[in-house]
Amino acid sequence: MISRLLKNPQFRLAAICSVAVFVFPSCFSRPGGHDGYQQSAYTVRGQHYQPMGIDEALDYQETGTCSWYNESSWFGLKRGTTSLGEKVMPWHLTGAHKTLPLPCLVKVTNLENGKSLKIRINDRGPFIPGRILDVTPRAAKKLGFYDQGTTTTRVEVLSVGDGSYKRKKRGWFF
């Protein structure tokens, strides 16, 4: 009976697809495995952090020290993952913030040279006192502070969430 089923091309295709779903589950799930926003409280090195609410985040602006970080290891061949479970790739323009809901889109302006950039916040950090934001090396290069390591920036939230959960900052009239 099984040999007759294996001769059926539709059955073979269904069997191969079923096996693929179980063998490669990460290919069929959402990146990061999250829906909506990540706002759960967490503790790092004994310090407790409570991410802000969506409405509070949409009005968020802050000026402070920004640094860059690199999640890769083993000569840059092994990539790290973010708090959302997403792989960090060299071409990504992403960053880390301690209390903004994840994910969100922010405008970062380097106050020392006037360069600005939109980056996606999808990680937690920096956990160094006095720093408000960490960005990837590519973002640091585009903002013009890669060689210095840190700079003074202004951070403004543009939107919070992805896809159908995305909420944008309201304009002046609407």
| Percent of the chain at pLDDT exceeding 90 | 51
Is the pLDDT reported for residue 26 higher than 80?
no
pLDDT tens sequence across 36-66: 667 788 899 999 999 998 889 999 999 999 9
- What pLDDT shows up at residue 85? 79
Instruction: State the pTM of this model.
Output: 0.74
Q: For strand 104-110 and strand 116-123, is the pairing parallel, antiparallel, or unpaired?
A: antiparallel
- What pLDDT shows up at residue 3? 59
- CA angle 167–80–125, rounded 5-degree value: 55
Contacts of 131 (CB under 8 A, 6+ apart): 64, 65, 66, 67, 150
Higher pLDDT, 74 or 164: 164
Average pLDDT over residues 153-157: 97
Contacts of 57 (CB under 8 A, 6+ apart): 100, 101, 104, 157, 160
Is the pLDDT reported for residue 15 higher than 50?
yes
